[in-house]
Amino acid sequence: MHEMSIALAVVGQVETAARALGEVDGAAPTARTVTLRVGELAGVVPDSLRFCFELACADTLLAGATLLTENVPGRAHCEPCDRDWATGLPPDLCCPRCDSGASELTAGRELEIAEVRWSEPACAAPPKED
């Protein structure tokens, strides 16, 4: 199941970002939600990825974080007739207009972190007056 290796990589990247923010602000924030853009041609099962993400987050700065996924439909472009089309699943890589093979897949293979929402920093207690 390659979803686990993807989940571990995402957790690692977000932890690295959190630590970098902590170096600036003094304390590493925790992540509330992580949103991934997942192309329908990327070969990733979003439900499996969410399950693996939950396991990968244990004992990290992401413990308790939620994984959200945004589906990116597959698209292709035909060079001979300059037409774009939705590839669908299973992908149709022949141009619906001229029946030539797709020259280029233009979308649908994405697998990227789109957004991380951090927890709000705890408010510091006001200093006690003597």
Q: Which residues are annotated as a binding site for Ni(2+)?
A: 2
Rounded Cα distance between 45 and 27, Å, is: 34
128 φ, ψ (degrees, to nearest 5): -80, 140
129: helix, coil or strand?
coil
Q: Whose CA is closest to 39, among 88, 99, 78?
A: 88
Binding residues for Zn(2+): 78, 81, 95, 98
Binding residues: 2, 78, 81, 95, 98
Angstrom distances, CA of residue 31 to CA of 25, 66, 102, 125: 15, 9, 40, 23
